Amino acid sequence: MIERVEAARLEPPVETVALEAAAGRVLAEPVAADRDYPALARSVRDGFAVRAADVPGELEVIGEVRAGENFNGEVGAGQAVEIMTGAPVPPGADAIVMIEHVRREGQLAIFAQPAEPGQFINPQASEAHAGEVILHAGRRLDFAAIAMLAATGQQCVSVYAAPRVAILATGDEIVPVSAKPVDHQIRNSNAYSLAAQVRRAGGVPEILPVARDEHSHTQELIERGLGADLLLISGGVSAGKYDIVEHVLAGLGAEFFFDRVLIQPGQPLVFGQALGKFFFGLPGNPLSTMVTFEIFARAALELLGGQDEVWLPMPQARLSRDFQHRVGLTRFLPARLTADAAEVTPLAWRGSSDVPALTRANAFLVVDADRAAWQKGDWIRVLVK
């Protein structure tokens, strides 16, 4: 699926944003170091700058240097300079001795231990050379990247435009969030959970009106949704009499890349392209919608947004109790992961419409299709929410 999107996507438009608005965006142009980092060799400890060949021994302290200063002089034989973390290493010195290992007596510093040349010194250009590309296009900007951009003087940043994502819930049983549903109706929660997932993946969501189980109304809203960069349809993709989404898409000349996946929840998942735009038909039950977005649609959205790499981390944790399931499908089941991510507990739930169970979960167990049972303490994969 990712390969399909990769092959067909166009490079997104580029826009310029202020540095303070760049977090979470995808970088559109490479950024190079504007100078050596560090620009000068500097100390990584508070202590004394010395010639390694002079210690152990008693050395004359000829001055001090702080971060933000230069030492006007040179460390000669039998001399030392008191130095602070981050300060430039004085000429002539080739080692830093930590202050905890030095005894000071007036203008003398007494060193009892030997020093290695280069110890506790961050050499010039050891982090990056001037002109070296340090941030590549296609990277989503996290806090470390923002720090690097600031360090290199980037007040404005070229980023890819965030993809617009239309979200269309379908079904006569769905009413607006503001409505008071009767017993056979449900509020439109899927559209809002999808909007939250879209924002987290770097997209700009647009929630469309609910499509009724009627061909012309559904077609009208699907055509409207295909005006966005990506269309997410929730519901209407199963095999029921009133599940008409695939018929409507077929009438629009859609190419279907697949219409079923071997996972639970989420088997009746549809992915394709129509009118030049990609779409996902996601199952309508809330857990199915959330899981299939995370596993499939999120990667597509990130690629459409210019991100050069996408991944779905599934770390392992130990089970807190015995666990069994029916083989045949890979299952994603609500679970609770401990704060240290060392242990995971399956949660009781009543099926893929059980939103209260989802609110108690912070992860999903990823249960292998060909294994029926696990024992307490066994390792199992998890998908973190």
Quick one: residue 68, left, alpha or beta (phi over 0 = left, psi -120 to 50 = alpha)? left
Q: Where are the domains of the chain?
A: 2-37+127-160, 42-122, 164-304, 316-384
Location of structure tokens 């250009």: 125
Nearest to 26 by CA among 188, 156, 137, 124: 137
Contact 283, 260 (CB under 8 A): no
Residues 6+ apart with CB under 8 A from 216: none
Identify residue 45 by its one-letter amino acid code: R
Q: Is residue 6 very low, low, confident or very high in pLDDT (cuts 50, 70, 90)?
A: low
Output the pLDDT for position 11: 78
Q: Which CATH superfamily is domain 164-304 in?
A: MoaB/Mog-like domain (3.40.980.10)
CATH topology (fold) of 316-384: Beta-clip (2.40.340)
Q: Is the pLDDT of residue 1 over 60?
A: no
Q: Is the pLDDT of residue 7 over 60?
A: no
Contact 142, 91 (CB under 8 A): no
Report the pLDDT averaged over residues 283-310.
Answer: 92
What gap in Å lies between CA 225 and CA 326, rounded to an integer? 38
Q: Is residue 248 very low, low, confident or very high in pLDDT (cuts 50, 70, 90)?
A: very high
Q: Is the pLDDT of residue 241 over 80?
A: no
What gap in Å lies between CA 336 and CA 231, rounded to an integer? 31
Q: Is residue 236 very low, low, confident or very high in pLDDT (cuts 50, 70, 90)?
A: confident
Q: Is residue 350 very low, low, confident or very high in pLDDT (cuts 50, 70, 90)?
A: confident
Of 2-16, 66-80, 85-99, 368-382, the poorest mean pLDDT is in 2-16
Q: Are strands 373-374 and 323-324 parallel, antiparallel or unpaired?
A: antiparallel
Of 8-12, 137-141, 331-335, the poorest mean pLDDT is in 8-12
Of 34-43, 125-134, 180-189, the poorest mean pLDDT is in 180-189
Report the pLDDT averaged over residues 275-299.
Answer: 93
Nearest to 70 by CA among 85, 87, 82: 87
Percent of the chain with pLDDT over 70: 96
Contact 283, 246 (CB under 8 A): no
What mean pLDDT value characterizes the chain?
93
Report the pLDDT averaged over residues 146-163.
Answer: 97
Q: Is the pLDDT of residue 238 over 90?
A: no
Output the pLDDT for position 266: 87
Q: Is residue 226 very low, low, confident or very high in pLDDT (cuts 50, 70, 90)?
A: very high
Give the CATH number of domain 2-37+127-160: 3.90.105.10
Report the pLDDT averaged over residues 39-66.
Answer: 97
Output the pLDDT for position 352: 82
CATH 2.170.190.11 fits 42-122, yes or no: yes
Output the pLDDT for position 34: 97
Contact 274, 250 (CB under 8 A): no
Output the pLDDT for position 130: 97
CA-CA-CA-CA torsion sign (228, 229, 230, 236): positive
pLDDT tens digits along 81-135: 999 999 999 999 999 999 999 999 999 999 999 999 999 999 999 999 999 999 9
Q: Is residue 327 very low, low, confident or very high in pLDDT (cuts 50, 70, 90)?
A: very high
Report the pLDDT averaged over residues 249-265.
Answer: 92
Top pLDDT among 286 and 49 is at 49
Q: Is the pLDDT of residue 301 over 80?
A: yes
